[in-house]
A and B are shown apart, each in its own frame.
Chain A
Amino acid sequence: MSKPDRPATESRRGFVNWLLGTSAGAFVVSAFYPVARFVVPPLEAESATSSVTLPFGPAEIGTNQGKSFRFGNRPGLLVRTPSGELRAFSAECTHLSCTVQYRTDESRIWCACHNGFFDLTGTNVQGPPPRPLETYDVNVRGDQIVVGLKA
């Protein structure tokens, strides 16, 4: 500080202060941008792999009807049996992993690829499927349906 103030030093000081201020500002912005984005909740509701809350309620599926849903990155099939019971299965056919669907006319689960049929317990009863469908647990909590892996 004891050095004599020359114009060159003066402008140098100004530059350093400018650089310090600007870069510190940029740093603060770059630190707070991720934090701000982090705090904003993501659009999709939380998805867990061991259980999933279906995007539709028990009232939206009538008797003798099937509705597909997403279980993590795999397709699932919810069926309300003619007797009114809700059952959930993996919708992946055990033959070649085609997506199966519910056949209202047959009251059975059907794979369109090779005409395989599964009964309402998921057992393979006709056609090429070698194994029963994987079954999931279904719980109804109020107007929510929660499907989970078998404990």
Chain B
Amino acid sequence: MENHESRLSAIWNWLDQRIGLAPAISLARKKEVPVHKHSIWYYMGGMTLFLYLVQIGTGILLLIYYRPSAEEAYESVQFLMTDVKFGWLVRSIHHWAANLMIFMAFVHLVSVLFMKAYRPPRELTWFSGVILLALALAFGFTGYLLPWNELAFFATRVGTEIVGVFPFVGDFALKIARGGTDVTGATLTRFYGVHVAILPAIGFFFLGLHLLLVQKLGMSVPPSIENSGSPKRAMKFVPDFFLRDAIGWLVAVALLVTLAAFLPAHLGVKADPFAAAPAGIKPEWYFMFMFHQLKLLPAHILGIEGELVGVMAFALGGVFLFLVPFLDRNAARGKPSPLFTWIGIAILAYILIMTWLGYTADPMG
């Protein structure tokens, strides 16, 4: 026992001398998380991060068998699902963790918005966070096409169509997005490259920035708690907060394997570019509100193409969300800013209602 421990400490010392473990440990020891009635929301970011790590792990495993071409993509996924041991499990977890991650990212963003955690000096944390959400959506959009099934094929066709509505640059941008004038095998290889190389590279940069800023600036305390002068308690990040985080992650793993076993990811019918679009083409749920809104718009608004107006409005909405830390002057000065709370509630209500309408609307309408 003695011998064992002394050997461990020898390894520790060796490493410490070369890479400096002691400062990292002291940094982790020093990190604290404030405790108050809204503390629960501090877990959302960690949950999103954990699911992102699950995505990286399962994604790397899927790469072993996946073949990115129109001829082989569907067949390779089919092979993975039926012949490869636990292939069904890996793919289903990748599928469900993706959905759960985007959901958690939304929850994280909304909680940060309502707790005004974007106030100075955390503007950059907010910016990087919004960019990470956009990247997560791009991950979802590009990944959806990869099994090359009918539903994904037509959803991608509709989804990329949006790029083409922009005046002047639309046609060119569409060609860039699709790797040609239409969704083909070229689109598939393009999306594959974006999904497994470009997005992860950009993602790691912004994720690193995001985590570094969180580490440097510490957790934000909501103004309501700060102003009410309630007892400012805190718990240590290691081990107290971390162990609680771990419980959440384990619950997520249990949920993922259960979903994978009982609701495995479907493969559907192989995409046929020449077939008629099947009824009930739907994007992933997180694009539903935009998809449905664009369907509801009239053909022309004030002489401009309705779709263009809609897309521009969503683009402006994204810019607005991005710039919230600069726009919310009251919060920045530590004053209450109910206006932005109400704007947040309105946006949330709009998204929820549009999503609900999108799923209940008559598919023929």
A residues apposed to B, CB below 8 Å: 27, 31, 34-35, 37-42, 44, 46-50
Q: How many A-B contacts if CB must be within 8 Å? A: 42
Partner of B72, one of A27, A35, A48: A48
| B270: A residues at CB distance < 8 A | 50
Supposing A46-B76, A49-B75 touch, asked if A38 and B83 sit within 8 A by C-beta, the answer is: no
**Cβ contacts under 8 Å, A48 to chain B:** 72, 75, 78-79
Assess whether A37 is in contact with B86, with CB atoms less than 8 Å apart. Answer: yes
Q: How far apart sit A12 and B72, CA to CA, in the bound complex (Å)? A: 57
Chain B neighbourhood of A47, CB < 8 A: 79, 83
What 0/1 pattern do residues 61 to 73 of B give for CB contact below 8 A with A?
A: 1001000000110
Output the least CB separation between A30 and chain B (Å). 9
Residues of B whose CB lies within 8 Å of any CB of A are 61, 64, 71-72, 75-76, 78-79, 83-87, 89-90, 250, 253, 270
Q: A35-B61, A38-B61, A42-B85 are in contact. List 9 more A-B contacts (CB 8 A).
A: A34-B85, A37-B85, A37-B86, A38-B64, A38-B85, A42-B84, A46-B76, A47-B83, A49-B75
B75–A38 CB distance below 8 A: no
Write out the residue numbers on chain B whose beta carbons fall within 8 Å of the beta carbon of A40.
85
Main secondary structure of the interface of A (DSSP, over half): loop
B61 touching A39, Cβ below 8 Å: yes
Q: Which of A31, A37, A39, A50 contacts B75 (CB 8 A)?
A: A50
Q: How far is the CA of A61 from the CA of B71 in the complex (A)?
A: 28
* CB neighbours of B64 from chain A (8 A): 38-39
Q: Closest B residue to A48 by CB, please name it.
A: B75
Nearest A residue to B83 by beta-carbon distance?
A42
Interface SS of chain B: helix
| CA of A50 to CA of B73, assembled, Å | 12
Q: What are 18 A-B pairs with beta-carbon distances under 8 A? A: A34-B85, A34-B86, A34-B89, A35-B61, A35-B86, A35-B90, A38-B64, A38-B85, A38-B86, A38-B89, A38-B90, A39-B61, A39-B64, A40-B85, A42-B84, A46-B76, A48-B75, A49-B78
Bound form: Cα–Cα A47–B80 in Å: 10
Q: How far is it, in angstroms, between the C-alpha of A48 and the C-alpha of B270 when the chains are bound? A: 12
Taken together as a complex, chains A and B put the C-alpha atoms of A40 and B159 apart, in Å, by 37
| Complex-state Cα separation, A42 to B84, whole angstroms | 6
**Residue A44 contacts which of B75, B76, B78, B83 (CB distance < 8 angstroms)?**
B83
Chain B hits for A42, CB < 8 A: 83-85
Would you give the shortest CB distance from B259 to chain A, in whole angstroms? 15
B250: chain A residues within 8 A (beta carbon): 27
Considering only CB atoms, which chain B residue lies closest to A39 in the complex?
B64
Cα-based distance from A40 to B85 in the complex (angstroms): 8
Which residues of chain A are within 8 angstroms of B83 by Cβ–Cβ distance?
42, 44, 46-47
Q: How far is the CA of A39 from the CA of B85 in the complex (A)?
A: 8
A38–B78 touching, CB < 8 Å: no
- Determine the distance from Cα of A47 to Cα of B87 in the docked complex, in whole angstroms: 15
> In the assembled complex, which residues on chain B have CB atoms less than 8 Å from the CB atom of A39?
61, 64
The 5 nearest A-B residue pairs measured at CB? A48-B75, A34-B86, A37-B85, A42-B83, A38-B86
Q: Is the pair B75, A34 in contact by a Cβ cutoff of 8 Å?
A: no
Contact between B87 and A38, CB atoms less than 8 A apart: yes
Q: Considering the chains assembled together, what is the distance between the CA atoms of A44 and B84 in angstroms? A: 10
Residues of B with C-beta under 8 A to A49: 75, 78
Query: Which A residues are in CB contact (< 8 Å) with B89?
Result: 34, 38
- In the complex, what distance in Å separates the CA atom of A59 from the CA atom of B329? 80
Q: Which residues of B contact A46 (CB under 8 A)?
A: 75-76, 79, 83
Complex Cα gap A83–B72 (Å): 33
A31 to B61 alpha-carbon distance, docked (Å): 13
Residues of B within 8 A of A31 (CB): 253
Q: Is the CB of A38 within 8 A of B84?
A: yes
